[in-house]
Structure 1
Amino acid sequence: MYIPKHTAVADKSEIFDIIESNSFAILITNSQTNLKATHLPMLLDRNEGELGTLIGHIAAANDQLTNFENEALAIFSGAHKYISSSWYETDQSVPTWNYVTAHAYGLIDIKDDFEDKFEIVSRLVEYYEAEDSRYKVSSLDKNFLNGLLKGITAFSMKITRLEGKKKLSQNHSVERQRLVTEKLDNFCDDNAKEISAMMKKNITDKNGG
C-alpha cells in the first residue's frame, strides 16, 4: 500500500499489535483471471517464523480455495475517522480521513486433516471466548464435530512481508492536530476515541513528553 514516510509503522511489534487488536481480516488472493476475498478472523502467532504466522479457516465450499496457491494479502483495518477541515484554524484546507491499518503478505499452507483443523478451530475459539467461558471445542459430540470440520478448510499463512500505517494528521502542525483532537473528543464512538488518543500520543512524543 502507499505509505508516506511520516505515516509508516516500522516496529514489528507495533504492527503485530494492530493485527491482534483488529483480527477480523479481509483475506485477498488472486489468479491470472480474478481476485477473491473473504472476511474472516485470523489469529497471529508472533513466535512462528521471522515475521509471524496467521491461522484461520474458511468454508470448504468457498471457491477462493482455488486461488490459495498464489501470494495472499490479509488486511487488518483499525480505527478510522473522518476529519473535517471545518475543525481547522482556516477554511482554506480540505477534509481527510485518519486511520490505522496493517497488511500481511504470505503464502498459504492448507491444513486439511482432522487434527490440524481441530487444533486451529480450538485455538481460535479459545482466543475469542471470554476467560470465564465454559465452552470448549473438545466437549462437542464427536459425530457433530466431525461434520463441522468436514465443512471447513483450515490453513496457516507464514508472513513474508509486513506493512503498517497510521495516518494521524502528522503532516499538519501540532496546533492543528490539537484542534482535531478537541473535536474528536466530542464524539462518543470508539473510532473517534482511539484516533484522538493516538494523535495525542504523537503530539506528546513529538514534544518530548
Structure 2
Amino acid sequence: MRQNPSFAMTDLAELRRVIVGNPWATIVSAPDDGLVASHYVVLLDEDRDDLTVVGHVGRPDDLIHGLGERELIVVFQGPHGYVSPGWYGDVAAVPTWNYVSVHLSGVPEILGAEDNLRVLDRMVELFEKRMPAPRRMWERPNDEVFVRRLEAGTVGFRLTPTKVVAKRKLSQNKPAETVETVIAELDGDGPYANPALAAEMRRAHEGRAGNHA
C-alpha cells in the first residue's frame, strides 16, 4: 500500500482499535509459484499490548503460504466507501474512495497444539458471546474428541510485525466545510450512505482539530 504522510495512521491505540473492529483479515504471501491470498479471522494477541496478532489457517493453506518460513502480509480493512465529487460543491473534482486499512508484515511463528486450541477457543468465545444461547467449544460430553480433530486440521500462528503500513484516507486534504458535507452525506439516506465511514471520518477529523487546538 503506497503511503501518503497526510493519511498515515501511527497511533498504536487507533491501530489496535481498527484490528479489533475488523477481525476478518486477508493473508497475502508470495510463494515461488505466484501470489496467494486467504481470508481468516485474525485477533490481537491478548497477552501483548503491541500489534502482535494470532490466528489460524486450515490445512493445506499453511503449505501454500509457506507459513513460518516466509514473509506475509495480514491486511485489516476498516470502513470504506464511495465519495461523490458532487459533495464538494461547484468545483473541479473527481470521485474517490475513502477508507481505513492496516497492513502487518513479517514471518509468523507457528503455534503448538495447545496454544492453537487457546486461540480457537478465544475466537469461538468472542463471537458466540453475542448469541442468546452461546455454543462454546467444550460444553458437551463428546466435544473434546471433536475439538481435537478440528485443531489438527488447522495451523495456528502468531505474527509480531516487522513492518506496519496503516492508512486512513478520510478527506484530510479537503477544507473543513467540505469534510462536514461529506460526513453529512454519508450519514444520510442516499445511495452511498455509510454511517460507519462517517463515524470514522468524524473520529479522524476530531483528532486533527484537537492536535491544532
Give yes or no for the alignment of 1:41 onto 2:45. Answer: no
Q: In structure 2, how many angstroms separate the alpha carbons of the residues matched to 1:98 and 1:108?
A: 30
State the percentage of identical aligned residues.
29
Once superposed, what is the RMSD of the aligned Cα atoms?
A: 2.5
Give the unaligned 5+ runs of structure 1.
none
Alpha-carbon spacing, 1:167–1:116, altered in 2? closer, same or farther (3 Å): same
Structure-2-length-normalised TM-score: 0.85
Alpha-carbon spacing, 1:191–1:133, altered in 2? closer, same or farther (3 Å): farther
Q: Which range moved further: 50-59 or 24-33?
A: 50-59
Q: Which residue of 2 aligns with 1:180?
A: 182
Q: Which residue of 2 aligns with 1:200?
A: 202
1:26–1:74 CA contact under 8 A, matched in 2: yes
Q: In structure 2, how many angstroms separate the alpha carbons of the residues matched to 1:122 and 1:158?
A: 21
Give yes or no for the alignment of 1:156 onto 2:158. Answer: yes
Q: Which residue of 2 aligns with 1:125?
A: 124
Alpha-carbon spacing, 1:189–1:52, altered in 2? closer, same or farther (3 Å): farther
| Secondary structure, counterpart of 2:198 in structure 1 | helix
| Secondary structure, counterpart of 2:32 in structure 1 | coil
Alpha-carbon spacing, 1:143–1:206, altered in 2? closer, same or farther (3 Å): closer
Q: How many residues align?
A: 207
Alpha-carbon spacing, 1:8–1:47, altered in 2? closer, same or farther (3 Å): farther
Give yes or no for the alignment of 1:168 onto 2:167. Answer: no
Q: In structure 2, how many angstroms separate the alpha carbons of the residues matched to 1:56 and 1:25?
A: 10
Shift of 1:162: 2.1
Give yes or no for the alignment of 1:144 onto 2:143. Answer: no
Shift of 1:128: 1.9
Q: In structure 2, how many angstroms separate the alpha carbons of the residues matched to 1:188 and 1:46?
A: 39
| Secondary structure, counterpart of 2:107 in structure 1 | strand
| Secondary structure, counterpart of 2:194 in structure 1 | helix
Alpha-carbon spacing, 1:191–1:17, altered in 2? closer, same or farther (3 Å): farther
Q: Which residue of 1 aligns with 2:15?
A: 15
Q: In structure 2, how many angstroms separate the alpha carbons of the residues matched to 1:198 and 1:136?
A: 33
- What amino acid does structure 2 have at the position aligned with 1:45? D
| Secondary structure, counterpart of 1:97 in structure 2 | strand
Shift of 1:190: 10
Q: In structure 2, how many angstroms separate the alpha carbons of the residues matched to 1:15 and 1:26?
A: 16
> Which protein has the bigger strand share?
1
Q: In structure 2, how many angstroms separate the alpha carbons of the residues matched to 1:157 and 1:125?
A: 20
Q: In structure 2, how many angstroms separate the alpha carbons of the residues matched to 1:80 and 1:130?
A: 27
